[in-house]
Amino acid sequence: MRPHTPLKEKVRRFLADHELDAAAIDPEVVLEDFLDEMTRGLEGRPSSLAMIPTFITVDKPVPPRRPVIAVDAGGTNLRVARVVFDENGSPAIDHYSNYEMPGLRREVGKDEFFDLFARYLEPVAGLADAVGFCFSYAAEITPDGDGKLLTWTKEIKAPEVVGEFIGRNIAVRLQSKGFCPRITLLNDTVATLLAGKSVGGPRRYDSYIGFILGTGTNTSYVERNVRIGKRRDLDPKGAQAINVESGNFRRHPRGDIDRAFDATTADPGAYTFEKMISGAYLGGLCLQVLKTAAEEALLSAEGAGMIAELAQLSTIEVDAFLRNPFASDSQPLGGLPEEDKEISLRLFTAVVERAALLAAVNISAAVLKSGGGASPLHPVCVNADGSTFYKTKDFRLRVEEHLRKILGPRGIFCEIIRVDDSPLIGAAVAGLTR
Ligand code: BGC
């Protein structure tokens, strides 16, 4: 025990100095700020949360035996498939193809971007008359089911596409090839919410949330139209899914290492919440933490030398290290001296714990805003999707623990469910029910 005490203390001080310690964050304060930003966004007042109306309701029955094309344009992959639901609402997915998301590895222009989508859709475009298009980026949705890209996230490089209507641009190109499917665009969190509703329906939940923590992060929930003060054209008796764009939340605590890391990204100052919790960034943030630890002589000279050589660290590598710091010497941190390994492990665990706390505050805000979950008989259904949420060591456990602490005393019940292929299934639901 004794030799570890100073090390533990040194790490504790480092975490406190750089605001990396989750225990120093008061979840109630962040939650209040989150709820306030949500209200402001709904009312059209200045807010870091776009609170985008989607014109998608969750109560429409899904017609069985009608094929629909589902597209899932995610952070890394672009998946295309045909989906058919049976009488019980179970989806069958076929004609499945996986491509790389355009703009991921190199910058593409507007024409190349949309031409690629049309090319990937062409082989299946004749198999159905509707396309449900799950688009994992911030887009302003129009009542006709299209969406205009507001900003790129997740380091996608296609600047000419910002401000463009996604569905319309692809439809024009498909038309020139003889296809005229009706395209419905929706955010991946909204698709996830719909997938939760379509698969979790028999459980009779009070309300539905779609939560994503993968390459990026975001949340959607169902809001009453009367509360969407920024739109005057909505049926006051109705409700619809709202895309919160929670990755752009700004009123969260962050430290100097977070700021330094943000400055290295493609869009400094934007989506700072996402950069503290999601898969595209957690690895890079952990590397920035290690480099700072090396500069401040928290690591040994040998360890510091190794970290100085390291240009990149992925979230997957951080997770592999968390699971087994001795797994393989070929891993980027495999050769660190034992004591530096322990320090790294403590630092990464702190970064992950803070991310889990912030994710739980985000989910709690959506649950509370939904107004549901007052009875354990009808909890709020949180359909969670994304590799970071499920694959990062103990992440889901940590989130659930925080959710209980935040929502339990308020007497609010929610349940996290997992539905495989949520983005595709939800896109299919939207394509069929608009
Ligand atoms: C995007 C959101 C998306 C989320 C999860 C974020 O970077 O802005 O629209 O829902 O990632 O994929």
Instruction: Convert the pLDDT of each residue in 334-360 to its tens digit.
Output: 999 999 999 999 999 999 999 999 999
- Whether residue 33 is predicted with pLDDT greater than 80 in this model: the reply is yes
| Structure confidence by residue, pLDDT tens digits, 103-142 | 999 999 999 999 999 999 999 999 999 999 999 999 999 9
Q: Report the candidate in 172, 160, 164, 130 with the shortest Cα–Cα distance to residue 147.
A: 164
Q: Which residues pair with 383 in a beta bridge?
A: 210, 417
| Structure confidence by residue, pLDDT tens digits, 221-245 | 999 999 999 999 999 999 999 999 9
Distance from Cα 341 to the centre of ligand 1, integer Å: 33
Nearest ligand 1 atom to the CA of 248 is 8
CA distance 105 to 356: 29
pTM: 0.96
Tell me which H or E stretch contains 338: helix 338-370
What are the structure tokens assigned to 188, written together?
């991946």
Q: Report the candidate in 231, 247, 117 with the shortest Cα–Cα distance to residue 185.
A: 117
Q: Is 392 in the pocket of ligand 1 (CB under 6 A)?
A: no
Q: Where are the alpha helices (DSSP H) in 134-255?
A: 166-175, 188-200
CB 264 within 8 Å of CB 284 = yes
Distance from Cα 428 to the centre of ligand 1, integer Å: 19
Distance from Cα 50 to the centre of ligand 1, integer Å: 12
pLDDT of residue 330: 61
Residue closest via CA to ligand 1's atom 3 equals 136
List CB contacts of 74: < 8 A, sequence separation 6 or more: 101, 134, 136, 188, 214, 215, 423
3-state DSSP call for residue 399?
Answer: helix
List CB contacts of 259: < 8 A, sequence separation 6 or more: none
351: how many CB neighbours lie within 10 A of its CB? 24
Q: Is 189 in the pocket of ligand 1 (CB under 6 A)?
A: yes
Q: Is 217 in the pocket of ligand 1 (CB under 6 A)?
A: yes
Burial track 257-266 (b if 16+ CB lie within 10 A, e otherwise): bbeebbeebe
Task: Parse the chain into domains and list their residue ranges.
Answer: 68-189+423-433
CB 113 within 8 Å of CB 164 = no
Q: Is 245 in the pocket of ligand 1 (CB under 6 A)?
A: yes
List CB contacts of 26: < 8 A, sequence separation 6 or more: none
pLDDT over 70 for what percent of the chain? 98
CA distance 79 to 67: 16
Superfamily for domain range 68-189+423-433 = ATPase, nucleotide binding domain (3.30.420.40)
Q: Is 248 in the pocket of ligand 1 (CB under 6 A)?
A: no
